[in-house]
Structure 1
Amino acid sequence: MSLCIMIVEDEMLLAMDLEDILTGVGHTVAGQASDMSQAVAIAERVGDHIDVAIMDVNLARGSNGVETAAVLRQRWGIPSLFVSGNLDERTRALALEWKPIGFVGKPYSEREVLAALAKVGAETI
Structure 2
Amino acid sequence: MPLRIMIVEDEMLLAMDLEDMLLDAGYDVVGQASYMQQAIALAEQKSGEIDVAIMDVNLARGTNGVETAAALRERWNIPSLFVSGNLDERTREAALPLRPLGFVGKPYSEREVLGSLGQLAIGP
Q: Normalising by the residue count of structure 1, what TM-score does the alignment of the two structures yield?
A: 0.95
Superposed structure 1 runs of 4+ greater than 2 Å apart:
none
Give the aligned partner of residue 41 of structure 1: 41
2:74 corresponding residue in structure 1: 74
Which letter does structure 1 place at the counterpart of 2:97? E
Higher relative contact order (CA 8 A, sep 6+): 2
1:30-74 deviation line (CA, Å, top 9, x unaligned): 100000011001100113110100000000000000000000000
**SS of 1:50's equivalent?**
coil
Q: How many residues align?
A: 123
| Residue 88 (structure 1) aligns with | 88
User: What is the match of residue 12 of structure 1?
Assistant: 12
1: CA distance, partners of 2:115 / 2:48 = 23
1:42-121 superposed matches below 5 A: 42-120=42-120
Report the Cα distance in structure 2 between the residues aligned to 1:38 and 1:61, rounded to whole angstroms.
10
Q: Give the letter aligned to residue 37 of structure 2.
A: S
Q: Which runs of 5+ in 1 are unaligned?
A: none
CA distance in 2 between partners of 1:25 and 1:116 (Å): 13
Bigger fraction of residues in helix: 1
Q: Distance in 1 between matches of 2:28 and 2:101?
A: 18
Unaligned ranges ≥5, structure 2: none
Q: What is the RMSD of the two structures over their aligned residues, measured on CA atoms?
A: 1.1
How far 1:6 sits from its partner (Å)? 0.1
1:55–1:84 contact (8 Å) kept in structure 2: yes
